[in-house]
A = this chain, B = another copy of it.
């Protein structure tokens, strides 16, 4: 069910309750303005250390904000009151041996006592900071998903997790790109400063008008593409790891937390 406009006014706790009850299964983009939304990854405990290490070694695409207090614990007390990672996201993805096999609205039937959840920072937080500064975010203006691309930049592998960096792209005038770099530098826990701008081929992107994920956006005369490390990177690493069983959020269906975006600022 899609969200109605009143959902933008709901508190994070109300949104999680609506997802938990089944009343809300839509995307969380634009919901609970001002609060941090997270990517979610759930892996069996035997792979938890390797996944945490993958995040630590690749902090720009995988900024780890919180993990389960212990295996099988469904709460994330660092991020909010009474969070239940099995039910509080509107939609999930189930991965078996690296293949997407389902998009359930909860993980109640799938949850196992050895599961460990990881919550990672998401671009919604820095997009809010850029908008607040008066910058335009093209994918928001054009009401589409941000364009994302596989690059030729290898992440540091950890255990079974490996893969190339995935980036998101927002076109900007150079002056605005400089401002965006300054603002995003303040937010290392939500991907931080861009990793590249300008010529896409320098990072292995052949056709900027043909993203690997998300939608294409207009690049106007005088604008250059600016590329940020993207939270799809850990999902690709998860696919490559071919774990027997793992879960993520469904794209755009994020964990809405009680933490504020403003509180993530480094300075």
A161-185 interface (Cβ within 8 A of B): 173-175, 177-178, 181-182, 185
- Closest Cβ–Cβ distance, residue A8 to chain B (whole Å): 33
Chain B residues, CB < 8 A from A185:
182, 185
Interface size band for A: 10 to 19
**Please, which residue of chain B has its CB at the minimum distance from the CB of A177?**
B197
- Copy total for this chain: 2
Q: In the assembly, what is the distance between CA of A209 and CA of B100, in Å?
A: 53
A interface SS class: mixed
Q: Check if A222 is an interface residue, CB within 8 A of chain B.
A: yes
Besides the contacts A178-B195, A267-B267, what 11 more A-B pairs have beta carbons closer than 8 Å? A174-B196, A174-B197, A174-B199, A177-B197, A178-B181, A178-B193, A178-B194, A178-B196, A182-B193, A199-B222, A202-B222
A residues sitting closer than 8 Å to B (CB atoms) are 173-175, 177-178, 181-182, 185, 193-199, 202, 222, 224, 267
